[in-house]
Structure 1
Amino acid sequence: MRPTMMMRSGGGGEVGKHNNFIGNWGNFGGLKQKGIVTYGISMNRQNPLAGTFHDAIFNTWRRFSGQVLYWAPPAIAGYYIVSWAIERNEYLNSKAGRAEFADSE
């Protein structure tokens, strides 16, 4: 006996018979899967912060050492340029600086 059109279209046949393995619309329960193994651990046996501080220290060092050559030289050069400019400005606005460059303006 051949399945009817209703059973071919998934409209109400038994799950597992007549190539109907998913279930009806809205009821996609299907057959139980075989060969899938899941493991679990009790909530009071877990340690969610295990190795957090150790990993944070070494991961931070790894990321810092990988990026330090990109930002440290420009930061050091910028610091020395700004400090030179501040010292030069203070000298030019001092009594000795005004006396030295008074005739150039």
Structure 2
Amino acid sequence: MDDAQILARLEAVIAERRAGDPSASYVAKLNARGIGKIAQKVGEEATEVVIAALSGDKAELVGEAADLVFHLLVLLSAKGVALADVTAELQRREGVSGIAEKASRSS
């Protein structure tokens, strides 16, 4: 299974579980607690990625990065944003200098 397929499957599972029983599904539990809690989890996981990156432990960084991607997908789903929207934006930016792209957003 390639990277895109696993992300698509995960996105589908998250969408399926959003309205599930919060006592049986972590995704449903997060959604029941609201966008604020989901966003907080994304922030916590991002911080853990930074800590793992600074520690130099590759296995820890991989695990924390997976947690971050998962929680980001939960947040995107809760906000009605498809992963395809994010990948389309990445494709739009492909080949554009990061400096130039950022400058275009501030004007």
For the criterion TM > 0.5, the same-fold answer is no
* Larger RCO (CA under 8 A, 6+ residues apart): 2
Of structures 1 and 2, the larger Rg is shown by: 1
Shorter-chain TM-score range = under 0.3
* Structure with more helix by fraction: 2
The TM-score normalised by the length of structure 2 is 0.23
